[in-house]
Amino acid sequence: MILKGKKGLIVGVANAKSIAYGIAEACHAQGAQMAFTYLNDALKKRVEPIAEEFGSKFVYELDVNNPAHLDGLADRIKKDLGEIDFVVHAVAYAPKEALEGEFVNTTKEAFDIAMGTSVYSLLSLTRAVLPVLKEGGSVLTLTYLGGPKFVPHYNVMGVAKAALESSVRYLAHDLGAKNIRVNAISAGPIKTLAASGIGDFRMILRYNEVNSPLKRNVTTEDVGNSAMYLLSDLASGVTGEVHYVDCGYNIMGMGDVATDAEGNTILAWDAK
Protein backbone atom coordinates (compact mmCIF):
# COMPACT_ATOMS: atom_id res chain seq x y z
CA MET A 1 0.00 0.00 0.00
CA ILE A 2 1.71 3.10 -1.34
CA LEU A 3 -0.09 5.65 0.89
CA LYS A 4 -0.30 3.56 4.07
CA GLY A 5 -0.03 5.88 7.08
CA LYS A 6 -0.48 9.00 4.91
CA LYS A 7 -3.19 11.58 5.54
CA GLY A 8 -4.64 14.18 3.22
CA LEU A 9 -7.29 16.80 2.52
CA ILE A 10 -9.45 16.50 -0.60
CA VAL A 11 -11.06 19.74 -1.81
CA GLY A 12 -13.41 19.55 -4.79
CA VAL A 13 -15.70 16.54 -4.45
CA ALA A 14 -19.19 17.46 -5.67
CA ASN A 15 -20.38 13.95 -6.50
CA ALA A 16 -19.10 10.52 -7.59
CA LYS A 17 -18.33 11.88 -11.07
CA SER A 18 -15.89 14.48 -9.72
CA ILE A 19 -12.21 14.11 -10.56
CA ALA A 20 -11.56 14.60 -6.83
CA TYR A 21 -13.68 11.49 -6.19
CA GLY A 22 -11.43 9.47 -8.53
CA ILE A 23 -8.38 10.79 -6.69
CA ALA A 24 -9.86 9.96 -3.28
CA GLU A 25 -10.77 6.48 -4.53
CA ALA A 26 -7.19 5.77 -5.66
CA CYS A 27 -5.70 7.21 -2.45
CA HIS A 28 -8.11 5.20 -0.30
CA ALA A 29 -7.21 2.00 -2.18
CA GLN A 30 -3.55 2.70 -1.31
CA GLY A 31 -4.26 3.15 2.41
CA ALA A 32 -4.60 6.94 2.82
CA GLN A 33 -6.79 8.51 5.48
CA MET A 34 -8.58 11.66 4.27
CA ALA A 35 -10.71 14.63 5.25
CA PHE A 36 -13.10 16.16 2.71
CA THR A 37 -14.69 19.55 2.12
CA TYR A 38 -17.98 20.63 0.59
CA LEU A 39 -18.87 23.97 -0.96
CA ASN A 40 -22.35 24.50 0.46
CA ASP A 41 -25.30 22.80 2.16
CA ALA A 42 -26.65 21.50 -1.14
CA LEU A 43 -23.41 19.55 -1.69
CA LYS A 44 -22.96 18.53 1.96
CA LYS A 45 -25.44 15.69 1.60
CA ARG A 46 -23.54 14.38 -1.41
CA VAL A 47 -20.06 14.68 0.10
CA GLU A 48 -20.84 13.14 3.51
CA PRO A 49 -21.74 9.66 2.16
CA ILE A 50 -18.70 9.81 -0.14
CA ALA A 51 -16.43 10.56 2.83
CA GLU A 52 -18.05 7.65 4.64
CA GLU A 53 -17.44 5.39 1.64
CA PHE A 54 -13.74 6.19 2.06
CA GLY A 55 -13.83 5.55 5.82
CA SER A 56 -13.82 9.23 6.85
CA LYS A 57 -16.10 11.17 9.17
CA PHE A 58 -14.15 14.41 8.68
CA VAL A 59 -16.11 16.71 6.40
CA TYR A 60 -15.72 20.50 6.52
CA GLU A 61 -17.58 23.35 4.87
CA LEU A 62 -15.16 25.24 2.61
CA ASP A 63 -15.94 27.98 0.16
CA VAL A 64 -12.48 29.00 -1.04
CA ASN A 65 -13.74 32.58 -1.38
CA ASN A 66 -14.69 32.72 2.30
CA PRO A 67 -11.67 33.75 4.41
CA ALA A 68 -13.37 32.56 7.63
CA HIS A 69 -13.58 29.00 6.22
CA LEU A 70 -9.89 29.05 5.31
CA ASP A 71 -8.89 30.56 8.67
CA GLY A 72 -10.39 27.70 10.64
CA LEU A 73 -9.17 24.91 8.38
CA ALA A 74 -5.73 24.10 9.86
CA ASP A 75 -7.15 23.90 13.40
CA ARG A 76 -9.90 21.50 12.34
CA ILE A 77 -7.44 19.31 10.47
CA LYS A 78 -5.05 19.33 13.43
CA LYS A 79 -7.83 18.29 15.79
CA ASP A 80 -9.13 15.48 13.54
CA LEU A 81 -6.06 14.16 11.74
CA GLY A 82 -3.00 15.87 13.20
CA GLU A 83 -0.47 16.77 10.52
CA ILE A 84 -1.24 15.83 6.91
CA ASP A 85 0.87 14.66 3.99
CA PHE A 86 -1.11 15.92 0.99
CA VAL A 87 -3.73 18.35 -0.28
CA VAL A 88 -5.79 18.07 -3.45
CA HIS A 89 -7.15 21.28 -4.98
CA ALA A 90 -9.79 20.31 -7.58
CA VAL A 91 -11.70 23.59 -7.69
CA ALA A 92 -12.69 25.79 -10.60
CA TYR A 93 -15.56 28.08 -11.45
CA ALA A 94 -16.46 30.65 -14.09
CA PRO A 95 -19.90 32.10 -14.82
CA LYS A 96 -21.59 30.02 -17.53
CA GLU A 97 -22.00 32.97 -19.91
CA ALA A 98 -18.20 33.37 -19.95
CA LEU A 99 -17.79 29.79 -21.26
CA GLU A 100 -19.66 30.33 -24.51
CA GLY A 101 -19.41 32.93 -27.23
CA GLU A 102 -16.29 34.96 -27.83
CA PHE A 103 -13.51 35.46 -25.28
CA VAL A 104 -13.25 39.11 -26.29
CA ASN A 105 -16.62 39.70 -24.64
CA THR A 106 -15.58 38.40 -21.19
CA THR A 107 -16.69 40.85 -18.51
CA LYS A 108 -14.36 42.10 -15.77
CA GLU A 109 -16.69 40.52 -13.23
CA ALA A 110 -16.55 37.07 -14.87
CA PHE A 111 -12.76 37.38 -15.26
CA ASP A 112 -12.30 38.21 -11.57
CA ILE A 113 -14.62 35.41 -10.43
CA ALA A 114 -12.82 32.82 -12.59
CA MET A 115 -9.36 33.93 -11.47
CA GLY A 116 -10.29 34.22 -7.79
CA THR A 117 -12.05 30.89 -7.47
CA SER A 118 -9.89 28.85 -9.84
CA VAL A 119 -6.39 30.33 -9.36
CA TYR A 120 -6.03 32.43 -6.22
CA SER A 121 -7.70 29.63 -4.27
CA LEU A 122 -4.65 27.40 -4.85
CA LEU A 123 -2.50 29.97 -3.04
CA SER A 124 -4.98 30.68 -0.26
CA LEU A 125 -5.73 26.99 0.33
CA THR A 126 -2.04 26.07 0.35
CA ARG A 127 -1.29 28.89 2.80
CA ALA A 128 -4.20 27.85 5.02
CA VAL A 129 -2.99 24.26 5.37
CA LEU A 130 0.76 24.98 5.57
CA PRO A 131 0.79 24.96 9.40
CA VAL A 132 -0.35 21.30 9.33
CA LEU A 133 1.36 20.16 6.12
CA LYS A 134 4.32 17.86 6.85
CA GLU A 135 7.78 18.25 5.44
CA GLY A 136 7.89 15.98 2.42
CA GLY A 137 4.23 16.79 1.73
CA SER A 138 2.55 17.21 -1.64
CA VAL A 139 0.03 19.66 -3.12
CA LEU A 140 -1.83 18.79 -6.32
CA THR A 141 -4.14 20.84 -8.53
CA LEU A 142 -6.07 20.11 -11.73
CA THR A 143 -5.59 21.96 -14.98
CA TYR A 144 -6.54 21.61 -18.64
CA LEU A 145 -4.97 22.00 -22.09
CA GLY A 146 -7.17 25.08 -22.62
CA GLY A 147 -4.55 26.93 -20.50
CA PRO A 148 -1.48 26.69 -22.72
CA LYS A 149 -3.48 26.28 -25.99
CA PHE A 150 -6.73 27.50 -27.54
CA VAL A 151 -9.72 25.19 -26.98
CA PRO A 152 -13.16 26.30 -28.23
CA HIS A 153 -15.42 27.79 -25.52
CA TYR A 154 -12.84 27.42 -22.74
CA ASN A 155 -12.28 31.19 -22.89
CA VAL A 156 -11.62 32.81 -19.51
CA MET A 157 -11.09 29.40 -17.91
CA GLY A 158 -8.16 28.89 -20.30
CA VAL A 159 -6.59 32.11 -19.06
CA ALA A 160 -7.24 30.97 -15.48
CA LYS A 161 -5.60 27.58 -16.13
CA ALA A 162 -2.53 29.29 -17.64
CA ALA A 163 -2.25 31.37 -14.46
CA LEU A 164 -2.84 28.26 -12.34
CA GLU A 165 -0.01 26.39 -14.08
CA SER A 166 2.30 29.36 -13.53
CA SER A 167 1.21 29.49 -9.88
CA VAL A 168 2.22 25.83 -9.54
CA ARG A 169 5.77 26.75 -10.57
CA TYR A 170 6.02 29.73 -8.21
CA LEU A 171 4.54 27.77 -5.30
CA ALA A 172 6.84 24.83 -6.06
CA HIS A 173 9.79 27.17 -5.69
CA ASP A 174 8.57 28.72 -2.41
CA LEU A 175 7.53 25.48 -0.78
CA GLY A 176 10.56 23.58 -2.05
CA ALA A 177 12.50 25.12 0.82
CA LYS A 178 10.20 23.16 3.16
CA ASN A 179 10.51 20.01 1.03
CA ILE A 180 6.86 20.34 -0.01
CA ARG A 181 6.08 19.54 -3.66
CA VAL A 182 3.46 21.26 -5.83
CA ASN A 183 2.26 19.73 -9.10
CA ALA A 184 -0.67 19.81 -11.51
CA ILE A 185 -2.37 17.14 -13.54
CA SER A 186 -3.67 18.31 -16.89
CA ALA A 187 -6.62 15.99 -17.34
CA GLY A 188 -8.33 15.22 -20.63
CA PRO A 189 -12.02 16.13 -20.82
CA ILE A 190 -14.35 14.21 -18.48
CA LYS A 191 -18.10 14.70 -18.15
CA THR A 192 -18.44 16.24 -14.67
CA LEU A 193 -20.63 18.94 -13.14
CA ALA A 194 -18.02 21.65 -13.83
CA ALA A 195 -17.55 20.47 -17.42
CA SER A 196 -21.28 20.68 -18.10
CA GLY A 197 -20.91 24.48 -17.97
CA ILE A 198 -18.64 24.47 -21.02
CA GLY A 199 -20.32 25.06 -24.38
CA ASP A 200 -20.41 22.08 -26.81
CA PHE A 201 -18.65 19.84 -24.26
CA ARG A 202 -19.93 16.73 -26.08
CA MET A 203 -18.06 17.85 -29.18
CA ILE A 204 -14.87 18.36 -27.15
CA LEU A 205 -15.21 14.84 -25.71
CA ARG A 206 -15.75 13.27 -29.13
CA TYR A 207 -12.91 15.24 -30.72
CA ASN A 208 -10.47 14.12 -28.01
CA GLU A 209 -11.62 10.53 -28.30
CA VAL A 210 -11.04 10.26 -32.04
CA ASN A 211 -7.85 12.32 -32.11
CA SER A 212 -5.91 11.06 -29.08
CA PRO A 213 -3.26 8.34 -29.54
CA LEU A 214 -5.13 5.98 -27.18
CA LYS A 215 -8.42 6.58 -29.08
CA ARG A 216 -10.49 7.04 -25.95
CA ASN A 217 -11.22 9.62 -23.27
CA VAL A 218 -9.68 9.47 -19.82
CA THR A 219 -11.68 8.36 -16.79
CA THR A 220 -11.59 9.64 -13.22
CA GLU A 221 -9.80 6.36 -12.41
CA ASP A 222 -7.00 7.22 -14.87
CA VAL A 223 -6.58 10.65 -13.29
CA GLY A 224 -6.94 9.25 -9.77
CA ASN A 225 -4.12 6.73 -10.23
CA SER A 226 -1.72 9.34 -11.63
CA ALA A 227 -2.69 11.74 -8.84
CA MET A 228 -2.02 9.05 -6.25
CA TYR A 229 1.51 8.68 -7.65
CA LEU A 230 2.16 12.46 -7.53
CA LEU A 231 0.83 12.65 -3.96
CA SER A 232 2.98 9.72 -2.82
CA ASP A 233 6.68 9.40 -2.01
CA LEU A 234 7.10 7.65 -5.38
CA ALA A 235 7.16 11.19 -6.84
CA SER A 236 9.54 12.56 -4.17
CA GLY A 237 11.75 14.20 -6.81
CA VAL A 238 8.91 15.72 -8.86
CA THR A 239 7.74 19.30 -8.31
CA GLY A 240 6.48 22.25 -10.36
CA GLU A 241 5.28 19.86 -13.08
CA VAL A 242 2.19 19.83 -15.25
CA HIS A 243 1.63 16.13 -15.88
CA TYR A 244 -0.74 15.29 -18.76
CA VAL A 245 -3.27 12.52 -18.16
CA ASP A 246 -5.19 12.85 -21.41
CA CYS A 247 -4.67 9.64 -23.44
CA GLY A 248 -1.84 11.53 -25.15
CA TYR A 249 -4.05 14.12 -26.85
CA ASN A 250 -1.64 16.99 -26.07
CA ILE A 251 1.18 15.51 -28.20
CA MET A 252 -0.84 15.72 -31.42
CA GLY A 253 0.33 18.46 -33.77
CA MET A 254 -2.38 17.45 -36.23
CA GLY A 255 -5.59 15.49 -35.67
CA ASP A 256 -6.40 12.12 -37.26
CA VAL A 257 -9.76 13.31 -38.58
CA ALA A 258 -10.22 15.71 -41.50
CA THR A 259 -12.79 16.45 -44.21
CA ASP A 260 -12.32 15.85 -47.92
CA ALA A 261 -13.22 18.33 -50.68
CA GLU A 262 -16.88 17.14 -50.55
CA GLY A 263 -17.06 17.69 -46.79
CA ASN A 264 -16.99 13.98 -45.86
CA THR A 265 -15.20 12.96 -42.67
CA ILE A 266 -12.06 11.02 -43.48
CA LEU A 267 -8.77 10.04 -41.89
CA ALA A 268 -6.33 12.93 -42.38
CA TRP A 269 -3.70 10.74 -44.06
CA ASP A 270 -6.25 9.66 -46.71
CA ALA A 271 -6.81 13.32 -47.76
CA LYS A 272 -6.10 14.01 -51.43
Ligand X SMILES: NC(=O)c1ccc[n+]([C@@H]2O[C@H](COP(=O)([O-])OP(=O)(O)OC[C@H]3O[C@@H](n4cnc5c(N)ncnc54)[C@H](O)[C@@H]3O)[C@@H](O)[C@H]2O)c1
Binding site membership for substrate: which residues? 94
- Contacting range for ligand X; rule: CB under 6 A; set: 103-111, 142-150, 233-241, 258-266: 142-150
Taking the C-alpha atoms of residue 3 and residue 8, their distance in angstroms, rounded to an integer, is 10
Residue 249 is among the residues annotated as catalytic for this protein: no
Residue 244 is among the residues annotated as catalytic for this protein: no
- Contacting range for ligand X; rule: CB under 6 A; set: 23-31, 85-93, 170-178, 230-238: 85-93
Taking the C-alpha atoms of residue 98 and residue 197, their distance in angstroms, rounded to an integer, is 10
Taking the C-alpha atoms of residue 219 and residue 235, their distance in angstroms, rounded to an integer, is 21
Strand partners, 266: 258
Strand partners, 138: 86, 181
- How near is the Cβ of 18 to ligand X at its closest, in Å? 3
The count of chain residues that interact with ligand X, using the rule CB under 6 A, is: 27
Residues 6+ positions from 130 with CB-CB distance below 8 Å: 74, 175, 178, 180
Site string for ligand X, 46-65 (x = CB under 6 A): ----------------xxxx
- Contacting range for ligand X; rule: CB under 6 A; set: 71-79, 99-107, 140-148, 225-233: 140-148
HEC string of 31-61 equals CCEEEEEECCHHHHHHHHHHHHHCCCCCEEE
Nearer to ligand X, 81 or 194 (CB): 194
- How near is the Cβ of 102 to ligand X at its closest, in Å? 21
Nearer to ligand X, 85 or 222 (CB): 222
Coil, strand or helix at 13:
coil
CA distances from 235 to 13, 227, 239 (A): 24, 10, 8
Residues 3, 9, 10, 14: which binds ligand X (CB under 6 A)?
Answer: 14
Please pick, among 21, 60, 154, 244, the residue that the annotation labels catalytic: 154
Element (H, E) at 71: helix 67-71
- Contacting range for ligand X; rule: CB under 6 A; set: 79-87, 126-134, 137-145, 225-233: 137-145
As annotated, the binding site for NAD(+) includes 12, 18-19, 63-64, 91, 161, 190-194
Residues 173-232 that bind ligand X (CB under 6 A): 187, 189-190, 192-195
Which letter, b or e, does each residue of 59-97 get, where b requires 16 or more Cβ atoms within 10 Å of its Cβ?
bbbbbbeeeebbeebbebbeebbeebbbbbbbbbbbeee
By CB under 6 A, tell whether 267 contacts ligand X. no
- How near is the Cβ of 143 to ligand X at its closest, in Å? 6
Nearer to ligand X, 137 or 189 (CB): 189
Taking the C-alpha atoms of residue 249 and residue 180, their distance in angstroms, rounded to an integer, is 30
Please pick, among 144, 229, 244, 249, the residue that the annotation labels catalytic: 144
Q: Which residues bind ligand X (CB under 6 A)?
A: 12-14, 18-20, 39, 43, 62-65, 90-93, 117, 142-144, 187, 189-190, 192-195
**Would you name the residues annotated as active-site residues?**
144, 154
